[in-house]
Amino acid sequence: MELQNSKQLFRNALDRHYAIGAFNFVNMEVLKAILQAAEENKSPVIVQCSTGAIKYAGIKTLVAIVKSIVSDMTVPVCLNLDHGKTFEDCKNAVDAGFSNVMIDASSLNFEDNIALTKQVVEYAHSHNVTVEAELGVLAGIEEDVSANKSIYTDPIQAKEFVARTGVDSLAVAIGTSHGTHKFKGKAELAFDVLAEIEKQLPDLPLVLHGASSIPQEEVKLAEKYGAKLTGANGIPEDMLAKACKHNVCKINVDSDLKISYTAGLRKYLTENPDNVDIRKYSTAGMEEITKVVSHKISNVFCSKNMAN
């Protein structure tokens, strides 16, 4: 199957009230583990890489690996650029073969965000590539994305932003946060803000960034074998499931995969100190990722068996 942009994927998700997991990857191992879970669960899936991942592995290499694996798959797959910061970031991704790009100009003022987003939309749409943008600010730190506090998305601004840019989906800030330590106290999401955004934009696919749940069984497994993740916490899965019943069609997951892969590697290497076969301990990490992704597809996003 060829890569798909987000248009039909999100249309199906809106109509059938589920969300599609958008899972970050930096190498072949993480990618294969994600796609194995999607194929086994007959779920559409979005795989995405940041500009940091592109610097690490190379954009041509990443696209080639994705297209090679996806060609033998039966479920729809979208390849997304996560948090492109400039027009050049997004143009390079479009030209390289990405089927969706995210332009994150949320750190700019409202008018500048509109101007840059519109520029990306015009170029991407001319190449049959869909575009995600962001309005509002998420707290936390993840690679090159950081903020000290969150600023909720303004629903009235969101309506104007979409009308003026023609963007295909919008990442909104309702209290999620980047990183592995998301809350100091009780987790709270502003579902009233989400509902108001839906009223203003009733047919627009919405996106949640910073939405890893930080599964505590994976944290404990990693810590058992030497990791130091004290206090790591994420978005409760019941809150994510509730968001999926709104117009949230895409939920980003990154930290969960990092922790689960690390847990699998640490366990295998500790229990097999004489092993130097990269394939064996990489497989142990991949198996943990596939388990976590399968759980989210089946029990949180409810996209299992939604590939057709």
- Domain of 119, CATH number, reads 3.20.20.70
| Number of compact structural domains in the chain | 1
The pLDDT assigned to 146 comes to: 42
pLDDT tens for the chain, residues 1 to 308: 999 999 999 999 999 999 999 999 999 999 999 999 999 999 999 999 999 999 999 999 999 999 999 999 999 999 999 999 999 999 999 999 999 999 999 999 999 999 999 999 999 999 999 999 999 877 544 455 444 446 899 999 999 999 999 999 999 999 887 666 655 666 789 999 999 999 999 999 999 998 889 999 999 999 999 999 988 889 999 999 999 999 999 999 999 999 999 999 999 999 999 999 999 999 999 999 999 999 999 999 999 999 97
The pLDDT assigned to 139 comes to: 55
- Is residue 119 included in any domain, yes or no? yes
Catalytic: which of 15, 72, 82, 144?
Answer: 82
The pLDDT assigned to 308 comes to: 78
**82 among known catalytic residues:** yes
The pLDDT assigned to 148 comes to: 41
The pLDDT assigned to 133 comes to: 98
- SS3 sequence, the chain? CCCCCHHHHHHHHHHHCCCEEEEECCCHHHHHHHHHHHHHCCCCEEEEEEHHHHHHHCHHHHHHHHHHHHCCCCCCEEEEEEEECCHHHHHHHHHHCCCEEEECCCCCCHHHHHHHHHHHHHHHHCCCCEEEEEECECEEEECCEEECCCECCCHHHHHHHHHHHCCCEEEECCCCEECCECCCCCCCCCHHHHHHHHHHCCCCCEEECCCCCCCHHHHHHHHHCCCCCCCCECCCHHHHHHHHCCCEEEEEECHHHHHHHHHHHHHHHHHCCCCCCHHHHHHHHHHHHHHHHHHHHHHCCCCCCCCC
Q: What range does the domain containing 174 cover?
A: 6-299
- Is residue 276 included in any domain, yes or no? yes
- Is residue 306 included in any domain, yes or no? no
The pLDDT assigned to 21 comes to: 98
